[in-house]
């Protein structure tokens, strides 16, 4: 049998790698500009560390096995649990601890279009600050990252786990039924009021309770502050509701200073993030044009570090849907031309076995001038060498025959323009750099 890649996993071939590296570079630079520092954790953790943190469904998706030392181990399912383990382990890390991590995670999901069993996540989190400034800052990070990636039309939806809990109380839903209610109202935008109402009735809510709930989550006001004032009034009897509304009010109050334009960030009481561990503000960023849906999600989770053996510590973070972002950058050709062009800029041909050293030396000079240069690996006929350049899309080819060598000259062929030009060897690097710089412009 011919060896194959495992089902649900992928090789990323060179052309696609360059877009990945570009996207990761943008994200990394954005995070660092806010003072978030890189962190790396092992792919493998004690299974005990990983299980029970994400819910039963997720536990089923964990890659788990016994290692040779008889330890029950698993491959990480996300980057949040390893972060909390790190924070619980190293007392010396300054607080707040602001870190980002860009790394693969593994889930034994049923493979389908755009969903893989190994995929990269990109997370940015602040641990050790209960301040709403930390949550607001992440709104700023999300906005900057989307802009730098070239997304123009996006909307950040903001809600609060505290408000959701209060909403359930307000609708008279017992806590153990709340998850079903959240799941129903999360679909509001997609399926409409009537469908959500039916689902709420199926969940056991009375018609009156369902209506109360739907009225509240659909409240609108041109200004977030007005909306939140109304919500706070409606939920005045529920302390978590008041707290949640005030927290969102504080976060929204910082939006303008963070460069978020009016309308880019909205309170949306029907937005529910699935994860159980959120405790405060939650957010989701949706790109509207092109319509690619949710590509960032996150929120505050003040108890997860405690669950992982540390003291309870306030924490808040974002996770970028990196694979989706990369797919979109590719599909819509959003990466700069430079990223999509072939990596190699110049091919130095080899005229004959005896002149290979000349070719290698010239290539070294071009590299020293910052030009990515390949030497053809062999002294095949020139036609074969040109075909190689053309297949790989290398824009310039250098030819040095015996005449040219004797005269200290060379010929540069422009593979796109089809013209060629003889010049002194000394002039070549400068000439090529100018042409390559123009092509990037």
Of 275-314, binders to a copy of itself (CB under 8 A) are 308-310
With binding defined as CB under 8 A, does residue 44 bind a copy of itself? yes
Rounded to the nearest whole angstrom, what is the least distance from the CB of residue 37 to a copy of itself in the complex?
4
- Positions 111 through 140 that interact with a copy of itself (CB under 8 A): 118, 126, 129, 131, 133-134, 136-137, 140
268 close to 294: Cβ distance less than 8 angstroms? no
3-state secondary structure 105-145: EECCCCCECCECCEEEEEEEEEECCCCHHHHHHHHHHHHHH
With binding defined as CB under 8 A, does residue 3 bind a copy of itself? yes
What three-state secondary structure class fits 104? strand
With binding defined as CB under 8 A, does residue 259 bind a copy of itself? yes
Rounded to the nearest whole angstrom, what is the least distance from the CB of residue 94 to a copy of itself in the complex?
5
| Closer residue to a copy of itself (CB): 290 or 361 | 361
Per CB under 8 A, the segment of 12-20, 163-171, 184-192, 291-299 that binds a copy of itself is 12-20
Cα separation, 222 vs 263, whole angstroms: 9
With binding defined as CB under 8 A, does residue 392 bind a copy of itself? yes
Cβ atoms within 10 Å of 54's Cβ, excluding its own:
20
With binding defined as CB under 8 A, does residue 384 bind a copy of itself? no
| Closer residue to a copy of itself (CB): 120 or 182 | 120
With binding defined as CB under 8 A, does residue 232 bind a copy of itself? no
Q: Facing residues of 73 across strands?
A: 46, 65
Handedness of CA 34, 255, 188, 240 (dihedral sign): positive
Binding mask 161-200 for a copy of itself (x = CB under 8 A): ----------------------------------------
With binding defined as CB under 8 A, does residue 93 bind a copy of itself? yes
With binding defined as CB under 8 A, does residue 238 bind a copy of itself? no
With binding defined as CB under 8 A, does residue 388 bind a copy of itself? yes
- Positions 48 through 77 that interact with a copy of itself (CB under 8 A): 48-49, 63, 65-69, 71, 73, 75
| Closer residue to a copy of itself (CB): 63 or 277 | 63
Cα separation, 55 vs 74, whole angstroms: 16
- Residue 142 corresponds to which tokens in the numbers above? 């999300």
Q: How many residues bind a copy of itself (CB under 8 A)?
A: 93
**Where are the strands (E) in 161-274, listed by range?**
265-267
393 close to 384: Cβ distance less than 8 angstroms? no
Binding mask 320-359 for a copy of itself (x = CB under 8 A): -----------------------xx-----x-----xxx-
The beta-carbon contacts of 308-313 under 8 Å, at least 24 apart in sequence, are 308/49, 308/53, 308/81, 308/84, 308/85, 308/87, 308/88, 309/85, 309/88, 310/84, 310/87, 310/88, 310/89, 313/87, 313/95, 313/127, 313/128
């Amino acid at each position: 049998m011919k060896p194959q890649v495992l089902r649900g996993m992928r090789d990323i071939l060179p052309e696609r790698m360059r877009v990945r590296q570009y996207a990761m570079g943008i994200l990394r630079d954005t995070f660092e500009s806010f003072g978030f520092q890189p962190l790396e954790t092992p792919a493998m953790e004690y299974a005990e560390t990983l299980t029970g943190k994400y819910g039963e469904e997720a536990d089923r998706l964990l890659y788990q096995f016994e290692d040779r030392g008889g330890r029950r181990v698993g491959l990480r399912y996300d980057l949040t649990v390893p972060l909390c383990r790190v924070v619980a382990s190293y007392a010396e890390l300054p607080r707040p601890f602001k870190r980002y991590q860009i790394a693969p995670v593994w889930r034994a999901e049923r493979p389908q279009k755009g969903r893989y069993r190994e995929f990269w996540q990109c997370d940015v989190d602040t641990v050790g600050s209960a301040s709403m400034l930390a949550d607001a800052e992440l709104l700023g990070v999300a906005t900057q990252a989307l802009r730098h990636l070239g997304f123009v039309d996006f909307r950040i939806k903001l809600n609060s786990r505290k408000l959701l809990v209060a909403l359930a109380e307000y609708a008279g839903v017992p806590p153990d039924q709340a998850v079903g209610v959240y799941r129903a109202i999360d679909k509001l935008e997609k399926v409409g009021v009537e469908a959500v109402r039916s689902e709420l009735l199926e969940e056991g809510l009375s018609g009156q309770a369902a209506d109360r709930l739907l009225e509240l989550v659909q409240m609108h006001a041109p200004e977030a502050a007005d909306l939140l004032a109304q919500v706070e009034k409606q939920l005045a009897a529920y302390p978590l509701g008041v707290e949640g509304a005030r927290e969102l009010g504080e976060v929204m109050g910082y939006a303008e200073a963070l460069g978020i334009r009016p309308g880019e960030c909205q309170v949306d009481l029907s937005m529910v993030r699935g994860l159980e561990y959120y405790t405060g503000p939650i957010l989701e960023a949706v790109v509207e044009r092109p319509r690619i849906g949710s590509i960032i999600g996150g929120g505050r989770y003040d108890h997860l570090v405690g669950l992982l053996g540390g003291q309870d510590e306030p924490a808040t973070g974002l996770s970028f849907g990196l694979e989706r972002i990369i797919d979109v950058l590719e599909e819509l050709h959003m990466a700069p031309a430079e990223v999509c062009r072939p990596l190699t800029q110049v091919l130095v041909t080899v005229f004959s076995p005896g002149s290979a050293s000349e070719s290698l030396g010239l290539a070294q000079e071009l590299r020293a001038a910052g030009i990515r240069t390949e030497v053809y690996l062999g002294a095949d006929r020139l036609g074969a060498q040109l075909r190689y350049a053309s297949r790989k899309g290398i824009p310039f080819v250098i030819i040095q025959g015996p005449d040219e060598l004797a005269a200290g000259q060379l010929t540069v062929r422009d593979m796109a323009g089809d013209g060629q030009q003889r010049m002194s060897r000394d002039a070549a690097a400068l000439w090529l750099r100018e042409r390559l710089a123009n092509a990037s412009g």
